[in-house]
Amino acid sequence: MAFGRLERTTGPQPMSDINMTPLVDVMLVLVVILIITAPLLASSIHLDLPKAQGAKPNDAPQSVTVVLDKSGQAFLDDKPASNEQLAERLAQAAKANPDTEIQLRADSGVAYGRVVEVMGAAQKAGLNRIGFVADPAK
């Protein structure tokens, strides 16, 4: 019979580290919820604007229609115009209202260079707003 000290094994040490995985999972779920709900919150503002006699929406901007047919002939507001007449009329339109918009209707067979000439004449006259008109595809 031996009298002596019994060896004891130490038990498991307490865990002193924080497990980050659940925290990251919760944060990612919150970010997804925020991303989904943020656009809904921004567009949910309803206003009853006051009524006033002087508050009218602006009139549509003036526009001038320039048409180029297959042969390259220019028409300004359905009237034939040579290059000089076109430049002169566009300058008059620019003098009357610098915000005048040009609606350019060009046949699909017109050379690109002719379209660029008309655009250059419009910009030289001081009209920078040019809209290209096309038919919708079927």
Establish if 138 belongs to a structural domain.
Answer: no
Give every CB contact of residue 114 below 8 A, 6+ residues apart in sequence: 68, 72, 106
Alpha-carbon dihedral of residues 57, 51, 40, 30, nearest 10 degrees?
120
Establish if 71 belongs to a structural domain.
Answer: yes
Establish if 74 belongs to a structural domain.
Answer: yes
One digit per residue, the tens of pLDDT, for the chain of length 138 reads 556 677 777 778 887 788 889 899 999 999 999 998 887 766 545 545 556 565 455 555 688 888 888 888 888 888 888 989 999 999 998 898 888 899 888 888 888 899 999 999 999 998 889 988 877 766
Establish if 88 belongs to a structural domain.
Answer: yes
Closest CA to 102 of 60, 76, 63: 63
Check residue 55 and give its pLDDT: 47
Establish if 109 belongs to a structural domain.
Answer: yes
Alpha-carbon dihedral of residues 19, 21, 22, 25, nearest 10 degrees?
160
Establish if 37 belongs to a structural domain.
Answer: no
Check residue 84 and give its pLDDT: 92
Domain that holds residue 111: 63-132
Our count of domains for the chain comes to: 1
Establish if 8 belongs to a structural domain.
Answer: no
